[in-house]
Amino acid sequence: MYLDDGIEVGKRNRTIQFVHGTPEARKVYKSPFVPENFSFVVYEFSGVSVVDIYRDREKIDSLTGDNSALLENIVARYSHRVSAGNIRWIAEQLFGREDKNYRDVMEFETLQESYIPVIMRTWADGTEYVDERGEKATEINPLIVRIKNVEKSAIPENLDGEQIQKYVRQFLGEESAAGFDYSAWQRMEPQLNDVLKMLAEKPETRRAHLLIAREDDIRKAMTGIEQPCHFALDFMVKDGKLDMYAYLRSNDVVRAFPADVYAAMQLQMRLATELNVGVGTYTHIATRAQIYSRDYMFVEGLIGK
């Protein structure tokens, strides 16, 4: 059977018999977007996906890999040739609603691998609304992202690395954040020694957390004063490595997400060194995650119009 035989638009969960393989049940989707005479077929295996690209019904490419790397490869190769609808559709299939990884935890090896898929998920699955400032945004909730290799994570390309490094210095208390009523470091620093002592003496503890939110934040917010997006950080030592969890009330996935993740992971690595343990995973939990309308053109350029 040829890969394109018998596949209907929107048809799912078909059984495909490969000439050189054994029959297995695999989810199969065919792209409904064909304005450029391109179409896509997505095959899902255990842990690996395959995307075949057709033009005028002739297969011109076949890409494979884990979902995040595969999506990044497709965007790099085809975003300038196909519509945003096509790219968005592929993202929905690779991180679709039927995929537990999509609904619950989006896992990536590094921060830089997570950036485009997180934007794609927000863009594809978000709901547009107007926030309390009168700004239009597309939002999902919640967003949960786990980075497995903190030490190899870097600032994603196409971003202002110096601006992110400046934010990191502010987050770690190495530079003041002018114009704000708060500093995350000022709120965390008095608690750090106690957290380190607790983790050193009782690595199994479930109480090693830093509180960033304060009791008067809501009252100040009602008067228009900004409050931190982070409200808590949580730590645990597992298998000799320090895992970190960051909790945020809101997160701008285009501009703030990479800076917030990168800064928090720098803190995680410093604390792991202090504790003389390895660096584990980083998990980022945002109650609400959004793309603001001012960044719509940037996102369309990133994923292809």
As a whole number of angstroms, the distance between CA 67 and CA 73 comes to 10
pLDDT, residue 84, reads 67
* In contact, 218 and 225? CB cutoff 8 Å: no
Q: What is the mean pLDDT of the chain?
A: 79
Q: Residue 194: which residues within 8 A CB-CB, separation 6 or more?
A: none
**Cross-strand bridge partners of residue 252:** 290
pLDDT in tens, 67-116: 777 887 887 787 777 776 677 777 777 776 444 444 478 889 999 999 98
| 21-35, 78-92, 128-142: range with lowest mean pLDDT | 21-35
User: What angle (nearest 5°) sits at the alpha carbon of residue 28, between those of residues 27 and 32?
Assistant: 135
Class of domain 15-82: alpha beta
| 10-24, 84-98, 121-135, 147-161: range with lowest mean pLDDT | 10-24
Residue type, 15: T
As a whole number of angstroms, the distance between CA 77 and CA 51 comes to 13
3-state class (DSSP) for residue 43: strand
Task: Say whether pLDDT at 146 is over 90.
Answer: yes
Q: Of 183, 135, 173, whose CA–CA distance to 294 is shortest? A: 135
154's tokens: 């870097």
CATH 3.30.70.1350 fits 105-303, yes or no: no
**Cross-strand bridge partners of residue 243:** 236
* In contact, 57 and 104? CB cutoff 8 Å: no
Element (H, E) at 88: helix 84-94
| 5-9, 37-41, 223-227: range with lowest mean pLDDT | 5-9
As a whole number of angstroms, the distance between CA 156 and CA 114 comes to 9
Domain ranges of the chain: 15-82, 105-303
Share of the chain above pLDDT 90, in %: 39
Residue 100, Cβ density class (10 Å: 0-12 exposed, 13-18 middle, ≥19 buried): exposed
Task: Say whether pLDDT at 152 is over 80.
Answer: yes
What pTM does this model have? Answer: 0.69
